[in-house]
Structure 1
């Protein structure tokens, strides 16, 4: 079976999007399938073409001349569709698999029609909601409604639809999409990359000026919807109960300056540490110091519908997780079993949840075991990607 994936961007760019793509393609290769990708004109450099990254082949679409919306976007769709058609006529795939955003889906529809191939369209998030979460869009605006309408058009005309979680599936069904047209392929973890965390890195702790124990951490991007302002607001309450508690914030993003200003004004500023972005090879050192990974996402459409990847990685590494009770988290974490859930948008609830965990360590090992077992059983990529097989085979069968 040969599958040509249509992508917004890919490796060597590092993002949650590219890591999911890498996992899907590598798992499909492990299943004996042939795969390749075609990326759009916005992000990846056009040369070399094709480009081999980590053993994966990606064909590139050349940039297009910029124009005001929607003419620039329509040019991008045409350019990507033309590139997919050209690659497909040479490579001869059995099926096209387009991944959100919806512009990729439009290009996929155009190419599939020209090539007379089936199209699977995969939604990783509703991009209009992602824009609201990132602060670059407004819910209900004209652009929001247009993006939603385009996505609905692609979903209606694709041969099958894949989503990463039940929240997205439920929303599509509510729009009128038949339930049997939508499959769920959840975010997963490459268990070969996440073994046992080494003992606390004492050299790193000394460099940071902290002592291991009572370490709360967040590793990821600093977007507003992540709720890191609530985590910083909770720190004085946590320190009141656990005086040695320290917060490590590893990463960066649009909210970094505002969060640093908030932390500097906090009465426990000395307990809050901004680490900055660190190389992927160094991240494990910080995980080794952290007792509780905190994920205080705010309650909004984006976080209620979409499941994040970071809590799964933390559980795979046998780390404790404390997360807000938004819908995306509730699909991953069973309160009191594989982690702890607290009320979203409530620093006091966050503080109590984390402090309670730090107060009582008697159940830590059992909770870590259950979290790791959940990932092994239900969220590893081998299991997830196998879910595509019956969908692909059904679409390819008549050919």
Structure 2
């Protein structure tokens, strides 16, 4: 089928996205663009910018070190640049300090950024100063402060409007659409409303969505999916078509020429555009996922058309947001309102699906009736349910020595995964384990820093960081390992949210070594399918790895038990029966 590509709308959307990012957060835009580059190109770009020492007043140099993953040198460069500027009270220097504060914020240092802004005399505070102050307030979770600072300079009018829209939605705004009394749904049809999807995103979220759609379709339901307005153009795919078909699953794109200004307008726009697709597809059930803004749009459409909707809680996104900001974020306005809106979404839905026992209990504690909650854990399908590749074949395919002892992961590389702990544990074991190798497949914001850490610990020569791998290749990276490691940090989000990749590792027959956290206790039977170790304890992780690497027979026994555990109920075909039951009860 020839796919229609709305080039004019996509060009307008791309221009709007870039324009808004330049106003909202130009430093973060530069970092996000760099993260979409291949690993080698990203390192080359970062190191190239880091060599620019006589232009940009240290801003470009600092960003370069950040892109390359060298936070230590980024901080030192930032210090040097600030020390020069504090002695220079020209207006240009004041603007430069504001830009440097923006860089400090991008490095996760809001206090430092605040101090830098405070050093600028009031008379020299221009539009860029107030824009950065607004971003600092939002980073801290202070919606009121973000709106107030953005509103204090006329050049920041667009930024102020977007900050105000975000404040409104987090404060409890609920969109409404006119009732459509003549609507007649098609029995057995389900429309999923997603944040992102294959083929443009290969995250665990997209993989889970596709697996659900395929498994439900195989049971006889007519299914399709609609992604959020602007996706995937907003994430760097300006050539996107109006629809993609992946393994017979339709993914419909909402690509208007212009997106609404601010979160409130975009929620309203999402509801209107979704209503148009509902009129075409005529689903009997709508099914959406975290976070709550999806549920706001879907709930408005469901009420207007008189059809039920399912809300699938796949994460604790308020906790994910707070995990990058320190304990004070847990007391912020944004965190409190984020949690409240997620519970509102779950209570408004006709049924809630979630991933595990811990997440279910949090919903019950928040007031969602237990009878309205079903658990569909992360699971596997083909090829993981087939006989897995042999380790020798996998290593030959990936160029890994057949007699090596390989530990690692296949994952999104973000800070809360704690993969720096794994790098340190390998460095601790390497001197007495000459065959030890570390293999970390995946990409994310923390990847450059892991590579720098490996260099500094002197183990770069035994580390492999192949970057993002395509979905069909993931199973080979699993199969090449001796041990799959999940060293997640002890945070609220990691204590409750279960990952997907460890289930895939278990399906391939690999023991899983994981932090001893409640969510991971749902995925690893300690001393049967793997080992649990004290979270954030390098010595405990090194001991767990060492004990299993020294005992091949024990590893093989654990791997076999892990594969049986997956086959016993962690498959998408098993989950599909739960989804079918939910849909049937809602449309009875």
What TM-score, normalized by structure 2, do the two folds share? Answer: 0.63
Aligned with residue 564 of structure 2, among 360, 369, 373: 373
The answer for the alignment partner of 1:48 in structure 2 is 241
CA deviation digits over 1:252-277, x for unaligned, max 9?
Answer: 21112221221111144433333323
Highest relative contact order (Cα 8 Å, sep 6+), 1 or 2?
Answer: 1
The answer for the alignment partner of 1:255 in structure 2 is 446
Range with greater deviation from structure 2 (31-40 or 262-271): 262-271
Q: Does 1:84 align with 2:277?
A: no
The alignment partner of 1:275 has SS state of strand
Whether the 8 Å contact between 1:164 and 1:186 is mirrored in structure 2 is: yes
Deviations 1:44-89 (A, max 9, x none): 249633432221112222247466xxx6212222222122222222
Offset at residue 162 of structure 1 (A): 0.9
Q: Identify the residue that residue 198 of structure 1 maps to in structure 2.
A: 390
User: 1: distance between equivalents of 2:256 and 2:305?
Assistant: 23
Distance across 2 between alignment mates of 1:325 and 1:230:
14
Among candidates 255, 262, 267, match of residue 72 of structure 1: 262
SS in 2 for 1:187: coil
CA displacement, residues 94-146 of structure 1 (integer Å, 9 cap, x when unaligned): 11111111111001110011000111111100211222345699333222222
Q: Matched residue of 2:232: which SS?
A: coil
* 3-state secondary structure, aligned to 1:98: strand
Q: 1:360-388: per-residue Cα shift (whole Å, max 9, x none)?
A: 12222221121111111121001012112
Q: Does residue 9 of the first structure (1) align with residue 173 of the second (2)?
A: no
Aligned to 2:213: 25
Equivalent position to 1:97, from 279, 287, 302: 287
Q: Work out which of the residue numbers 33, 38, 45 in structure 1 matches 2:226.
A: 38
Q: 1:282 to 1:112 in 2, by over 3 A?
A: closer
SS of the aligned residue for 1:387 comes to helix
Alignment coverage as a number of residue pairs? 392
Q: Which of 423, 436, 446 matches 1:232?
A: 423
Distance 2:577 2:264 in 1: 34
Shift of 1:241: 4.3
5+ long unaligned stretches in structure 2: 1-187
Q: Distance in 1 between matches of 2:463 and 2:542?
A: 14
1:90–1:63 distance in 2 versus 1, CA, 3 Å: closer
Higher strand content, 1 or 2: 1
Q: CA deviation at 1:212?
A: 2.7
CA gap 1:64/1:8 in 2 versus in 1, 3 angstroms = farther
Contact persistence 1:200–1:212 (CA under 8 A): no
Partner of residue 298, structure 1 = 489
RMSD: 2.2
Once the two structures are superposed, what CA deviation does each residue of 1:231-285 show, in whole Å capped at 9, x if it has no partner? 1111233224433211112222111222122111114443333332333444444
How far the C-alpha of 1:35 sits from its partner, in A, is: 0.7
Which stretch shows the higher mean deviation, 383-392 or 100-109? Answer: 383-392
Higher helix share: 2
Q: Which runs of 5+ in 1 are unaligned?
A: none
